[in-house]
Each structure stands twice: as structure tokens, then as C-alpha cells.
Structure 1
């Protein structure tokens, strides 16, 4: 009673109490305004119970390994049961040691928030950072409310944290936290961070790795182990000390873990980095088309970047790694050869239009043109210099250059493509679309069409066999002029004897152009084109003799299809790489099957004959360097290819269980190799396959490919027992007509032997046949 009298009789005390009461009332009203959504609607308990975060779509290899992801935020949710206990312990010890004893708000931490963060406006002082409060911030972020921002955001998080604690148990809060918390390098959630920094799933983390990831949460960029390894290691050791302090690990374990070196296995799953970027981009395009035809349970279309889908593919993870290594090793050396051969006399110096056209095709030029600038103004802009990163094989370089300089820089580079498929199904095992996706995003597997050169010859010879021409039929190597004045010649020595006759096996293994055209004319151009169609080729093939030398243009994927019949019972198989698409819970959304030819393109006998011919190409022909340079002893059939003026180099390598096609050339068709020695398929494209097979031979997991043998029947062995090349007789050399009709008057070995017995010199002197 006396206190009330004192208040009544003391105006100052009364005023103070009024002020305090007003402040309290104001605080309550302020909190109420936040609680009831005056500063922005807060999620209800029901909405919190249906939390759905944006999740990355995963692309998996045939073995289930993660190849890449499509995401806005790189996040892969995992279950609580997949968290190792030491990971949870590290989080509790470092971020919220009283986590299991509060209901989302830690009063001690809250007092720190009030005095440091709110009154002193010190954002770096931390907050009442319980795991639940951090979860609220992770899920809903923070908004800018001006000078009241800290207060409003903190109170909002308090309300959300309280509702989270009422909606979820502690295990669920840990699960939600780990699945939403941000890490370095635009990575969200523990699974994505674990895969990115250590190349393993969360369940496989050891205590040191868990400590690194938890330590990163204090300041994700500052403690990024990729950029600041020593700083990250120091923070890791702080986490380990906290774990020991609160009894989660022993002192001995702490010391042992702190002495362990920080070792990363960093894997980048960004769209332009990491394994198989060209393949992943093709998968993205195809999956997006499929998703346009599907709807989820809410009747909405699936989103490849947000819905956490799982895409299963046929890609062999390890073979893809080896394929990319092989391509990089060879192309770096070939590029050096290529540049050295031209010196300063580059094609675009001799023909300035090449550079001019490249500039006008470039994005900067088109952007400025669309803005209405004149050509003179555009060129002036493109001449301005600035620091820029430029690709080089031994590491990207940063230099001051103009856009024009950069365009000229990239003109010098050769590019490459490679596709390896399982012939029985067309299942893609490896896909290399170019030399570096960051700088060259044009995919040479699926987008590019180039002349295929001599790799078309096996199709010509297949048509000949299918139309009754025997494998031991002999053809003259003499040059013939065809309609239109076209005279194909061989790329061998100038001393090649034009009067020699070769059987089809020899002619194909040595890739003789003159004979390839004669075989085509004997089989019939129409029959050859039909044969190509039966082998899966859909591109336009002109009805002219020059198609025998591969003047038709095709994609690398299409050419690969055409070679599968040789090792797939005569049927073609189209490249096939997506097996199924699932939602994040494993429910099947779409499934895909291989596409094969409906009937054999070759008889079994002719198929085996063609394989034997192409084995000869490797054993004694244009692809012999697989034996003498790369030391390969595998059962391999193959075909080299080089186009006119050395513009494109090709190689097709086949084992019974793998068909591999490689291409090398310049993206500008006007830029070829300076000479055949460098540009021929045996030098430009074959080595990628050679290196890949060397690497696969060293790894037992590929023995089904590397140790497989081509089966061959006794009938085919007998059919292929041809006598070697033979030389025209004296009168043939003296009076033989060098015209097409004469060349089409072919003879089999038996016919030739019969004629020899009746020959004038043979009867008179009994001379030997020229071998």
C-alpha cells in the first residue's frame, strides 16, 4: 500500500512507470503485428507441415553414380537415417549444445540477441542461433525492413521456430536443417555439399569430413575448403574441439582427427563443368521435352530444376572418365602439331573472309547489330580491349584482348567428338561432344554434320556383297574418269602401280579410293543408298559416284548407328541413353527402350565377311598403328576416314561389344589440316580410340569389352582365303582400256586362274603369277 502511495505522490516515478508500461505495451503490439502478419504473412502450422523445398534433379550413370544435376539451388534431400551420428554430434556441439532441452528458443542466446544484435545493431554478433531458428531463416530467408529489419526478422524467426517445434520432433528438425542449410559454391543441403566436396554420400562421411562441413556453416565462403584450405582446416579443428568438450568424442580421437590432412575430392556438378557436360545437356533437352507431356498429382507440369527428379542413363561413369582423358591427351598434342604446321600462315590470314564471317556470326556482333549500330560502330566496339579468360590446353589464361582477338584465338582450335555405344542396344557408354564445354558448347555428337570420308566405304562394300559380288573379286587400281570429268585417285604413293588388281579385302583395308568407286558402280548407286538406309542412315545421300568416298554429310551419332549392324547380327541400333525418369520418391514417370532395325541389313555370312575385312584394316591396313604404336592386341575391326583437303579426320573402332566413332576437325569447314600426314584419320582421330583402349585394357572391369573375340565361321574363313593382289598381264597393260566399262569387267580369283592357264606366256614359259 505504501508503494502505491509513493507512486501516487511521486510524479517522476509515476511517469517512469507509464513510460515502461507504454514501451511494454508497444512491444507487445509490435510483436502482435509481426505475429498476425502485418509485416508479411507467416507460414501456418499446416503450411509448415507440408514443407517442400526446391530440389535438384539428379542424372545417374548406369551404375547409379551421380553424373550431374539440374538445379536453381543445388539441393538433394536425404533421410535422417542417412546422417552419421558424428555429423549430428558436430552440429549440436558447434551450433546448439542445448538443442534437445529447449523448444526452439534458447533464453540465454535470446538475451545475447537483445543486447548485441537489437540494441547495439551488431549483425556480426550472431543471434539466438538455435538450430530451429536457423532452420526458419534457411527456409524463409530475410527481408529488408529498413532500420527495424533485424528486429522484425528475428521476431518472425521466433514465431516460425516455435511453430516448427510444435509441428516436428527433434529428428525432423535436424533432417530439415541439414537439407536446407547453405554451403559454399551455391550448394544447399548436406548431401549436395558432401558429394561436391568429398565425392561421397552423406552416410559415408568420416568424422573429419563432417567437421569440415559443419565448420563451413559459420561463414560458408570464408571457410570454403576449396578456396581456403588452411582456414577450413583450422575451423574443422575448432569443431572437433567442441565435440570433445561436450563429450561426443574422446580426447585421443580429437587429437588424431586434428592431425589428419584436409583432403578433398571436389566434383563440380554445374551445367558447364564436371563429367560429361555435353551428354548432360542433351539429357536435359530430352527430359524437358518428356516432362512437357507429364503432370504431377496436382495437375501441374514437372519442373526439371525444382522437382528433384531422378534420371537414369546408360552412361558408363568410368568409361566416360577415360574417354575424356584420352581426348584431352591426344587433342592437346594434335593442336600443337596443327599450329606448328601452319606457323604464321594461318588459313584466316590467307583468307580474311574466314575471320570476318566468324566475327559476324558471334553473339557480341549480333547483339550490337540488334541495338541498331552501324557496322563501323560495331567493329569499333569489338576492337575495345578488356581482361578476358581464354582457353588453352595447359590451363586457361587471362589477358587483355578485344572481342576480335578472342574470336581469332578460338579459330585456331581443332575440335573433337566421340561416341561409344553397346551395339546390341545402342546404349551409350561414353559421349564426348567437344574439347571443353565451358568454351565450346556446340555438340559434335548430336548437332554437327560433316562429310564422313572413307568411313562410308564399308557401307559400299556391304552393298556389293549383298548384291552378289564375291569378296575375292579383283578390281584394278587404275584411275578412271567418270561422268562430269571426275577422276578419283588414291592417297598413297605416287609410285603405286596402276596395273595392280586387288581383292575387296585388300582394297578396303588400304582404303583405295579408285576401287571403292568401282565397287560402288558395280553394286549400283541405288543399291548402295538403299543399303545405307537399311543400316540406319537417314541423312540425304546424293546419287553420284563420289558418295563412295564419303562426300555425304552425317552426324557422328548417325554414323555410329550405321556401324552397329556389323556387330549386332546385321541389325542397326540407334544411340540410346535415358532408361527411365523417376520422381524424388522413386515413382516411375517414364521409361524408354532401345530402337533397333526391324530386319537385318546384312546376311550373317556377309556381316562376318565385313568384320574380317575391317579386322584387316587394323591388322595390316590404314589403322595398323593401333598395333604398332598403341600396342593393342585386342580383337578390333575398324575403318579410318579422311575428307577432301584434310578437313575431317574419322575413325571407327569396333570390338564385339563396343562401337566407337571419333571425329576431329575445325568448326569452320574452310579450315583444314595443312597436310595429310597430320590430318588423315589415322593420325587425327584414331589415337583417341587407341588411348581409350589402352586405358580400358588396364582395368579389369572392362574385360567384357577388351577380351571379347569376334566369332567367324569356317565358311567365311574359306571365302576370305583370297590370293594377294595380281598385276595385269603384258597385253592387258599394253592394250587395256582405261574406261569405266573395262573396269566393271571384273573377275573372281577362280576365273582369273582359269584364264592364266590359257595365257600365251603362261603356256609358253610356265612363268609364276606376280604376288
Structure 2
């Protein structure tokens, strides 16, 4: 019989076990996909997700940071920035500020590790209920701000797909936040966050924000002030206390309520603080304010080139630049310039009352001066781009009045609101006189003060280095130094009488007959020292002829004049344009015993961490023998000591104690367009220029327009202030004695003539001094 086959029953899987198996597989698959996604985002798989911050960037985070400019006495005088940011350590932040931030932005900050799951769940639930709210922790916000996780540079191929870009960016923020928490303490994260956020009003970081809105520091913030600043983080413009005070007050009170809710302050404190009015001390830091604005511009020009050559960014890298400027001396120089220019402008306005000051050589107003001048402005070129050849439209714009702010000497703010057309405003500004001044230590080359104009905000043209004007008689010392260095002595004599010099220029025969500024001639021999001190033109011209005008040009260049100089008989009377900057450097050769020292305005540059990047040292060159330099110092004293010396207006100032000696030289161009004074003490050399923006704008008489009346007072006022400040260490006293044997006679006796010859041809010119054909 066949055996019966035994059947074995296989138990069927239960429904429960199948579900469990499916769930596990789904979980593992989902987990694997999440891990794969996170790894792909982290390492930018196939360039789909964009780059994440590298380990180096995480451990060495870099934010744009303003470069800072310091004076030689340690004062911060300016910044160079695109985002005005100056970091401050956590220990210098008020606990009230930290409490306000945590209570408002991330109450579980000290509990989570970069991501707050409870906040995420709450945000998702809120969104489903139609109540959208943020879930980002402070660390996530720092990751977004610090590493720009949502910019085009961090986007991959998938980052350009809507919705996907947000998910990827959020993922990067989460991953970066976790890594930040692993590498930094909570205090360090808070400090980095507060140093990077934008508070509006061009203030980035808590240090600048505290100063901008309350003129205080982060460690001195009051609770209500901290609440205002934390409130700004939600929307800097909408909650601006300056422009939207109601919104700001409401947001401040919300922050105070959060602080009470989480026990950082009591409810009673919150209630009391919420009733306070919004009090600001608001001032936005700008490039146009503060001391040494023109100097900062000149330094920036140099630094931009230095940074380009050395791989730095002046406006982002947080460099620390230490300059030669002394903040106190700079303050005194600016005060002296402002005081004199206020006085001079009133005098100038009264002088031209009822008339426009732009005139030709015959003292007639230049027709169409303003209309032609405006065609050279950037504003006119913009109108040309807008309207093309439609002159009617352009003229309509030029003659349409607008409300505007303009510069004025009438009040302490130096501004006023007016209604003017562009043409009227240009004419208004052309009435102003301008000035430039520089002071330098002749031994080190350190520039100690630099005033490039009367107001940088409204007149950005720098009259120290950028402007070049005729120096008039301040150029005469280059004639005398050339003569003394070639055998002459201060006591040698030349007759003070009319002279005609015949010469050839480019094959053409010419003649030149200079006159003295006062049209008087003694007809007697005059020492070189008295001739320079009294600024006698004909003696200078005769001496120039003797030594050769090419020689004068050579010596001027040797002493540091870099501008082109025309080799003509009148070279000694200053017809070629030069700058205050190079004139001060050239004169500094005399007190420095014949060494030319290149002017220097930076001593060192450091990186944001204080590491030295470059140390600057003086550059000197021996250009005169020591005896000649000493004799020129003696010659320069002639302006004070010789009868009729042109520097004697300095007796009005409190400068004459302890045998103090000052050498100097005035200069005025023939139509009084330019007034100069070069002053030399035992410690410093100072150059001052005063004049109109255009050469056709000037005083009409020498009594008002000569350098002793316009530029010299700036020097006098400045030196008065300098000597009164004992902390500066500048003392009055005589020039140093010679350090070498002096082989030439220089202590000569001045013999005054018994009669003076007045040129009869000068009678008409004395009535109208504007027609003088000489340079004082």
C-alpha cells in the first residue's frame, strides 16, 4: 500500500508582524535617505546643494569689519567701511542686553544644541493654525548671518528651484548651527551674533548701534535701551526709533514684557520701564564728520593702493592704521582755520557787497561765468545724459528752485536750509574763500596736522595735496638758498632799483621788468637777508639773473618740489603752481640741517587681531650742506627782524616768550588770488594757503588780500594754541646754534636808506592795485 504523504503546515505571517516589518523598512529607508540627504548637503554632492562653511571658516569666522584710523596719541579719528562694524567681546556687553536678547529671540538658548525641536514643533503647529512664527535659534541666525547661507554664492543647482532652495538653506543652517555649538561656548556665540547683526542706520554690530542710537557703549546700556536695540532685530527699518518711534516703543515694550515673563526683570520693573518715553542720542557715523576729514581722504588714497599691492581690503578687513597726526594739534589747526576763515569771509562779502567777485584782469565781471562753470560739473553731465541736446529741458532743470541744505558760516552747525536753483546754489558757493594748512615735524617727516579745506561735507577738494596754486613770494627762499649754496652770504648786497631782464624763450627774444609790491625803490645796496625779509622783488629778480633761473629750478626740485616748474626769469616770484604739501616738505630741509625728509602720515598698519603688517620709517636724503641750511634759517628770521619784514604781523600773537624765534615767508599772487604763509619754528614747519576756488575770485587790494592778512593769521592762531597746551611738549625758544663752522658772514647790520624813490609810472596802479604785474 502506498504510504500517505505527510503534509507540514506552514504558519501564515500575522498581519501585525507584516506591518511591523514594513514600518521598520520604511524607517530604515527614510533614515538612510535623510542621512544621505544630509551628507549630500554637507559635501555638496554633484554641486547640487552649494558649498557649506569649511572647517577653517567655522574655526576662524570672518565678518566684514571697518578699518580704523588712529592718531599718534591713540585717538580713533575715522573708519573706512562698507558695513560700519567694530566687534566687542562678550565681557563688555551688558547682562541686561544678553537677557533681553535671550528672552525675546531664543528663551531655550542655554538648553538646546543649536536646534530647538520644541520651537520647530510650535512653528509647524502655528502654521497649520494660520499663525506663522519663527523657529530659528540664535545659533541658526548666527549661521545665516556669518556664513551667508542664503546668498547666490552658496547655492547649488537645486538652490534655484522654489521651495527646494528654502529647505536646503534651512538644512545648512541647522548643520552649521550644530557645528557652531560644538566649537564655541554659549557666550562666544552670543558675542558673535551681536557683533554681526544689522541694527539699521548704517550700524552693524552692537558697539556701533549703541553709539549710533544712544551715544553709549554696550556695557553701559540701560534695560530700556537694550530692549530698543533687541527690538530692532526683527525689522530694523520698521522698528527704527529714529524714523518710526511709535513702532519702536511698541516693540520695546514687547521685549520688556518677555523679560518679565521669563523672570529677567520683575513685572513691576517692566510696567515702570514701559511708561518711559523713547529717548535717543542719535547720530549716524559717516565719512564726512569728525576730525581730519581731508587727511582721512588722503590716507585712504594711499591705503587703497597699499591694500591692492598687499592683498587686503581696506573696507572689509578691519585693519588698524596708526597715523602721525596728533589729535590735539589737528583740533587746534581746524579751530585756527575756522576762526580766520569766518572773519575773512565777512570781510570778503563786505568787500564785494552788491557785486559778484568773479572778475577779469580789468576788474570787470566775467559774463556767463556761472553758466559756463556749471557745464563742467557732474550734475550737468547727468542732465546731458538724461536730456541729450534738449537745452530747454536742461535750462529748466538748472533754473528750477529746490529745497536744499547748504554750507554757511552763519551758525555753529555750519548748515542751513534754503530754496535755490542749481545755478543759484553754484553762484552761492563760488562766493566762499577756501584754505589749506599742513604742519610737519621736519626731523621725522611726521605730519602733525592737515586741514584740507573749510568743510569736507560740502567742499571735498583738498587744498593741501590735491590743489596746486601759485606760491608767490613763498618761492623766493629757493632763489636765496641756491645763491648761498653757491658762494653768496646773507650780508651780500644788491642794489634795490628798477631792472629789465632780456632773455630768449624758444628762440624768441623777450624782456621782463619786475616791480616791487609797494612800487618803492631805495636805490641803495640791500643785503640779501633784508631783501628776502622785506620781500623785495627787484633784488630777487636780479639775484635770479646772476645765478641763473635754471639753477633756481634745480634747487627747488632738489629740496622736494615735485611739480613742474617753468624755467623763466620770474621763477623766484612763484609763477609755477605748487602744493602746500610739497612746500612744507621743502621748507623742512632748512631746520633739518639740509636733510630732505619725505612727508609721512602713517607709522604702522596692523590686522584686525593686532598683528603688525607693516612698519613705516622716515625716508631722508641730504640735499644741502649744513652751513647753507643754518644760514637759511637765519634768513627766514629776517621776516620778523628786518625793518619792513613781511612776517611782522605775527607780533599781534602771544608767541614771544623765552627768546622764541620764528622764521617765515609771506606770499601773494599779483591779483591777490592766492595768499600764503610758510612758518618755521625750532620744532615744526607749517604751510597755509588761502584763496578763492577759482583764480578769478579774489580781493581787489593788497591791504585785504596779501598773505600777511589772509594766511598768516591762521599760523599765528594755531601756534598760540599749541604753545598754551603744555602736554604737547612744544616750547618756545631760539633756533639751535650751528653745529658746524660758519664760513660766511651773516650777522650783518641793516642800514636804512635816507630816501625812497617812488616809481612815477605806478601812480595809477596805486589807485587800482588789481593791475599790478608783480607777485608779492
TM-score range, shorter chain: 0.7 to 0.9
- Whole-angstrom CA distance in 2 between matches of 1:576 and 1:327: 22
Please give the TM-score of this superposition, normalised by the length of structure 1.
Answer: 0.77
In the alignment, which residue of structure 2 is the partner of 1:563? 587
Per mean C-alpha deviation after superposition, the further-off stretch among 709-718 and 462-471 is: 709-718
In the alignment, which residue of structure 2 is the partner of 1:607? 629
- Whole-angstrom CA distance in 1 between matches of 2:496 and 2:535: 11
In the alignment, which residue of structure 2 is the partner of 1:542? 566
Taking a change above 3 Å as real, the CA distance of residues 706 and 40 of structure 1, as seen in their structure-2 partners, is farther
In the alignment, which residue of structure 2 is the partner of 1:583? 607
Matched, 1:592 2:616: yes
Give the drift of 1:455. Answer: 0.7
Matched, 1:275 2:291: yes
Per mean C-alpha deviation after superposition, the further-off stretch among 246-255 and 70-79 is: 246-255
Give the drift of 1:53. Answer: 1.9
- Within 5 Å, which residues of 2 pair with 1:424-439? 424-439=443-458
| 1:711 equivalent among 736, 739, 749 | 736
| 1:460 equivalent among 466, 479, 484 | 479
Per mean C-alpha deviation after superposition, the further-off stretch among 533-542 and 133-142 is: 133-142
Taking a change above 3 Å as real, the CA distance of residues 45 and 445 of structure 1, as seen in their structure-2 partners, is closer
Give the drift of 1:353. Answer: 4.2
Give the drift of 1:644. Answer: 1.4
- Whole-angstrom CA distance in 2 between matches of 1:111 and 1:182: 28
- Within 5 Å, which residues of 2 pair with 1:83-98? 83=93, 88=98, 91-92=101-102, 96=106, 98=108
In the alignment, which residue of structure 2 is the partner of 1:312? 322
In the alignment, which residue of structure 2 is the partner of 1:176? 192
Taking a change above 3 Å as real, the CA distance of residues 230 and 520 of structure 1, as seen in their structure-2 partners, is farther
Give the drift of 1:177. Answer: 0.8
Taking a change above 3 Å as real, the CA distance of residues 215 and 719 of structure 1, as seen in their structure-2 partners, is farther
| 1:531 equivalent among 523, 541, 555 | 555
- Whole-angstrom CA distance in 1 between matches of 2:248 and 2:666: 52
- Within 5 Å, which residues of 2 pair with 1:339-738? 339-348=349-358, 350-370=365-385, 373-374=388-389, 376-377=391-392, 378-393=394-409, 394=411, 395-483=414-502, 484-492=510-518, 496=520, 498-597=522-621, 599-604=622-627, 606-618=628-640, 621-629=645-653, 633=657, 634-703=660-729, 705-707=730-732, 709-713=734-738, 719-727=745-753
- Whole-angstrom CA distance in 1 between matches of 2:53 and 2:757: 98
- Whole-angstrom CA distance in 2 between matches of 1:106 and 1:453: 76
Give the drift of 1:584. Answer: 2.4
After superposition, the CA RMSD in angstroms is 4.6
- Whole-angstrom CA distance in 1 between matches of 2:465 and 2:736: 32
Taking a change above 3 Å as real, the CA distance of residues 486 and 214 of structure 1, as seen in their structure-2 partners, is farther
- Whole-angstrom CA distance in 1 between matches of 2:178 and 2:116: 11
Per mean C-alpha deviation after superposition, the further-off stretch among 672-681 and 258-267 is: 258-267
Taking a change above 3 Å as real, the CA distance of residues 590 and 334 of structure 1, as seen in their structure-2 partners, is same
Give the drift of 1:647. Answer: 0.7
- Whole-angstrom CA distance in 2 between matches of 1:281 and 1:699: 27
SS in 2 for 1:469: coil
SS in 2 for 1:664: strand
Taking a change above 3 Å as real, the CA distance of residues 293 and 138 of structure 1, as seen in their structure-2 partners, is closer
Taking a change above 3 Å as real, the CA distance of residues 477 and 89 of structure 1, as seen in their structure-2 partners, is farther
Give the drift of 1:361. Answer: 0.7
- Whole-angstrom CA distance in 2 between matches of 1:637 and 1:233: 62
In the alignment, which residue of structure 2 is the partner of 1:333? 343
- Whole-angstrom CA distance in 2 between matches of 1:90 and 1:101: 17
- Whole-angstrom CA distance in 1 between matches of 2:743 and 2:199: 64
| 2:68 equivalent among 47, 52, 58 | 58
SS in 2 for 1:293: helix
Give the drift of 1:719. Answer: 4.4
The answer to whether the Cα contact below 8 Å between 2:149 and 2:173 also exists between their aligned partners in 1 is no
The answer to whether the Cα contact below 8 Å between 2:231 and 2:252 also exists between their aligned partners in 1 is no
SS in 2 for 1:424: coil
In the alignment, which residue of structure 2 is the partner of 1:3? none
The answer to whether the Cα contact below 8 Å between 2:96 and 2:222 also exists between their aligned partners in 1 is no
Taking a change above 3 Å as real, the CA distance of residues 718 and 482 of structure 1, as seen in their structure-2 partners, is closer
Per mean C-alpha deviation after superposition, the further-off stretch among 688-697 and 629-638 is: 629-638
SS in 2 for 1:521: helix
In the alignment, which residue of structure 2 is the partner of 1:292? 308
Please give the TM-score of this superposition, normalised by the length of structure 2.
Answer: 0.76
Taking a change above 3 Å as real, the CA distance of residues 176 and 639 of structure 1, as seen in their structure-2 partners, is same
In the alignment, which residue of structure 1 is the partner of 2:766? none
Matched, 1:101 2:127: no
| 1:71 equivalent among 76, 81, 87 | 81
**5+ long unaligned stretches in structure 2:** 1-29, 152-159, 360-364, 503-509, 762-776
Per mean C-alpha deviation after superposition, the further-off stretch among 190-199 and 521-530 is: 190-199
**5+ long unaligned stretches in structure 1:** 1-24, 295-300, 739-771
| Aligned positions, number | 691
- Whole-angstrom CA distance in 2 between matches of 1:66 and 1:440: 23
Per mean C-alpha deviation after superposition, the further-off stretch among 272-281 and 132-141 is: 132-141
Taking a change above 3 Å as real, the CA distance of residues 209 and 548 of structure 1, as seen in their structure-2 partners, is farther
Q: Deviations over 1:617-645 (max 9, x none)?
A: 24663222322145564542221111110
The answer to whether the Cα contact below 8 Å between 1:657 and 1:708 also exists between their aligned partners in 2 is no
Matched, 1:217 2:226: no
The answer to whether the Cα contact below 8 Å between 2:101 and 2:230 also exists between their aligned partners in 1 is no
Give the drift of 1:344. Answer: 2.5
The structure where helix makes up a greater share of residues is: 1
Give the drift of 1:713. Answer: 4.4
